[in-house]
Amino acid sequence: MLMGECCNVGHAPNYRQREIALITELIHVASLIHDDVLDDSDTRRTLQTVNSRYNEKVAILTGDYIIARATSKLAQLGCSETITILSSVIRDLIKGEIHQLNRRSSDLEQQLALYVDKSYLKTASLIAHGCQAVALNSARPHLQSTAYEYGKNMGIAFQLVDDLLDFISTSDALGKAAGTDLKLGLATAPVLYAATKHPELQDLITRGFAKHGDVELALQMVEDSNGITRTKELAQMYGDKALKDLETLPTSEFRDGLVVLCDLVLNRNS
């Protein structure tokens, strides 16, 4: 909504922007419910997941139903370009899951590139295309590319910080157990950077931290490296790109809000 208001400064509100925000959030909620099934998660932000409270079948059907409602509302907008933009989010979410399943590689640079690509597909695409869609349906549709880039860069920064917190935050703050990604067999940025100092981490990454003691060993190696620092620097780089994107948007309190949002993303602890 902030991006929509920013692109609409000086003009009457557009009802489509509010609908786009609602559709985007519906897709987001559905993806979280499905994610919890794939990760076999019992809690999310301290709350019991749908699959834990009921069962996997109910969770999958609930997520599918929410997606169906989102696509129905999307069709009602009657704008083919908006439909194309937001349907890309669902495509990217599925591609991101496939990327995550095919995570094995012996080349660290390639692993990091795939990790950033997966972060875009599973997280940033939703924000990027949502921002693009509201800009398209604003008084300044020519800003849609800028809005997309802001959303993409902020979304990747968000995911990097999220993966960073899995190592440095408390379980209470995260709403999930620390080290969850490792237990799921996922090598995120802190681990990939740590592997440059500890090449032996590569074997653990390749087998998805499946052996007894792998997770604890990986945590020690991350702590004994600059993996945390380099991940923070990478997140800051994407945050700076997002702030740069905002320079071409109209000056307003809404643009100021988007600047504050970047700061909140980069400095959050939960």
DSSP-assigned states of every residue in 137-166: TSS-GGGHHHHHHHHHHHHHHHHHHHHHHH
- Amino acid in position 181: D
Question: Helix (H, G, I), strand (E, B), or coil: what is residue 43?
Answer: strand
Q: Is the pLDDT of residue 175 over 80?
A: no
Query: Which pLDDT does position 176 carry in this prediction?
Result: 57
Q: Is the pLDDT of residue 171 over 60?
A: no
Span 80-98, pLDDT tens digits: 999 999 999 999 999 998 8
Average pLDDT over residues 254-264: 97
Query: Which pLDDT does position 65 carry in this prediction?
Result: 98
Query: Which pLDDT does position 12 carry in this prediction?
Result: 85
Average pLDDT over residues 237-248: 97
Task: Report the distance separating Cα 243 and Cα 105, nearest Å.
Answer: 33
Question: Helix (H, G, I), strand (E, B), or coil: what is residue 29?
Answer: helix
Question: What is the residue-averaged pLDDT of the chain?
Answer: 92
Query: Which pLDDT does position 104 carry in this prediction?
Result: 61
Task: Report the distance separating Cα 112 and Cα 94, nearest Å.
Answer: 20
Range in 35-39, 101-105, 128-132, 211-215 the model is least confident about: 101-105
Q: Per the structure block, which two tokens stand in for 53?
A: 């409270």
The contacts of residue 2 (CB under 8 Å, 6+ apart) are 254, 257, 258, 261
pLDDT top residue among 107 and 105: 107
Query: Which pLDDT does position 160 carry in this prediction?
Result: 97
Query: Which pLDDT does position 102 carry in this prediction?
Result: 72
Query: Which pLDDT does position 98 carry in this prediction?
Result: 87
Span 193-225, pLDDT tens digits: 999 999 999 999 989 999 999 999 999 999 999
Q: What are the φ/ψ torsions at residue 160 (nearest 5 degrees)?
A: -60, -45
Average pLDDT over residues 149-163: 97
